[in-house]
Amino acid sequence: MKINLFKVFSITVIIAFYSAFLAQAQTPSGLRDIQPDTTGEAKINKILQDSGNSFKEGLLNLQDNRRSQAREKFDKSIEAFLMSNINVSSNPKLQNCYNQLVETIYRVEFPSPQQQPQIKSLAMTCGWDVKSELADNVVKMTQSAPNSTTTTAGNTSNNNDPIKSVVSQPQIAQNGFSEQKFEPSNLDTLAQLVLTPEEENVVNTPEGQQEYIMISQAVNGGSLGFKFQMNQRVQQFLGYYQGRGRSTMEIGLNRSGMFMRMARRIFREQGIPENIAWLGQVESAWKPIAFSSASASGLWQFIPGTGARYGLRRTAYVDERNSFEKATTASAQYLKFLANRYGGNWELAMAAYNSGEGNVDRAIRRAGVSSFWAAYPYLPQETRNYVPNILAVILIANNPNRYGFGHVRPAPQLVYDSVRVPSSTSLGLIAQASNTTVDYLRYLNPEFRTNSTPPEPYVVRVPAGHGNNVFAVLKKVPGANRNNVALTNVLAGETAQNIANRTGTTVEQLKQVNGGVVPGKGPVVVPDSKIAKLPNYVRQTSQVTPTSTNKVVVVKSKAGDTVAKIANRFGVPPIEVARFNGLSGIDAPLAAGRELKIPPR
């Protein structure tokens, strides 16, 4: 399923901060209320100046294709407002600039031909000096689609597998300045796949003819849960997968283990033959972030229009085409609709799933009969490959030993807890509460387009066994603070005052963000802004000789450093350093230059 739109990528924490800040402006309690408002004209002008300088640096970086640096500068332009301790909503000048800044950065990262980023208008609103040439260059960049990185079939006379080149490709070109990656779908190459003469002639041997009869009998006997008309084209694709397409099939059968149990259950609940769920292998090779050059997305490759038709929302916060359960349910419902439309003919239903009802209806009219193989010559090339491809996958998946795939073991089922969280909750906080990383949360929740949940209660998948922890943490954190706090673990023997001293805050503030009581053990919520300002830091610029100290030491990691290596350098247990910094592992490489806090000894 496909259309031509730009590829979508994750936005930074900008929207999350924005939602939290607006909520905070309307809430009488919260961390920001601890500081008195300062609304002097000089202070306001300084905020605008700092924000404008960072924004212009972001534009320059983006113009030079330094996307990561651009993102950092755009974040800083937002932080100039967020860290000012001024209620933006109370000052029209600040509010207008802030609102338009957030919208403009969003439009830069989520390009749309209909809604271009209004950089010049933003500069006028905020009083910034942004050169017209720079603004125009950035707008042009955001409106230019990236070059497709998918590989076409090329010369089909060799034994290379064109689909495998797409299945195994690590990433796809990006828009915007985010780091989110999408994986290419194999549908683009499937459209141009041409079987070799050897693959086509597999049906002309005595063995091939015997195989054809055996498959026809099995299909007619109903052993697959549905019936279809056997055709030589299906057998030819069986030969393709046993030859140059072998790696593609092995990858698909392996990855199917993560999602097939869920897919079978949902298809069964919707009254769809369970084996039809193997359609997902041809659509995406079971990659939730598969993205075709035609902008179909997710496990089931929904285009936006059809996705919306079956309840899959696309907003600034989520693209539910990339979800697990919701997209699978939508796929089953759409297939059920198509099967009913074509009188229970699953070949026609699958053809319409790929190319749309209109193309199939026209092909049927030209053929004069409601049969896929009669309509076959009048269908698009991709669809002519698509349907027999799925049928071949179904046959192999149901009898892998017969076709030489008995050695392939499905990957373990993806397991997780589902937790309903409040609106606009930071994924960073959820990650800490579930003892994982934001990256892994994004892996479990590929529908998220930002590092914040939508501005409404939403179900989030977290690592199995951690759902209750997340629920307990979020239950005690006031709504206005969910994007301004982090977690740290209570160290052995620590009192509330010790925790306050260590995190640079007060006992009263700790109580405020912990539901009135500071825990005596386990995780404790602390103001996030305070964590970055811990007292008694000794910043090191060279190698440190471990000595006994009662101060927190801050060091910057070098290339190849891990938590364990740095902890051993200071004579501190690695697990203690990891917990002190809110990390879950001790052996993973750290990014060069990352600051790590060494607890007092």
Structure tokens at 451: 């590092």
Rg (CA), the chain: 28
Please state whether the predicted TM-score (pTM) of the whole model is above 0.75: no
Classified as helix, coil or strand, 589 is strand
Least confident of 82-96, 140-154, 441-455: 140-154
Mean pLDDT of the chain: 80
Least confident of 3-17, 244-258, 264-278, 282-296: 3-17
Sign of CA dihedral 373, 376, 382, 385: positive
Given this model, what pLDDT does residue 445 score? Answer: 95
Given this model, what pLDDT does residue 553 score? Answer: 82
**The pLDDT of residue 331 is above 80:** yes
Given this model, what pLDDT does residue 601 score? Answer: 57
Given this model, what pLDDT does residue 593 score? Answer: 77
**The pLDDT of residue 2 is above 50:** no
* pLDDT top residue among 207 and 82: 207
pLDDT tens for 181-199 read 566 676 777 777 899 998 8
Q: Are 156 and 196 in contact (CB under 8 A)?
A: yes
Give the rounded percent of residues in the chain with a pLDDT score beyond 70: 77
Q: Which amino acid is at 186?
A: N
Given this model, what pLDDT does residue 143 score? Answer: 67
**The pLDDT of residue 111 is above 80:** no
- Residue showing tokens 């990433």: 171
The average pLDDT across 241-253 equals 92
Integer Cα distance of 368 and 388 in angstroms: 21
Which of 87-94's residues contact partners 24+ apart within 8 Å by CB, and which partners? 87/25, 87/32, 87/37, 88/21, 88/25, 89/22, 89/25, 89/26, 90/25, 90/37, 90/39, 91/39, 91/44, 93/44, 93/48, 94/44, 94/47, 94/48
Given this model, what pLDDT does residue 451 score? Answer: 86
* pLDDT top residue among 152 and 585: 585
**The pLDDT of residue 174 is above 50:** no
pLDDT tens for 53-108 read 999 999 998 888 777 788 778 878 887 886 666 767 678 888 889 888 887 887 78
Residues tagged active-site: 283
Burial of 533 (0-12, 13-18, 19+ CB in 10 A): exposed
Out of 58-67, 171-180, 255-264, give the one with best mean pLDDT: 255-264
Integer Cα distance of 600 and 100 in angstroms: 45
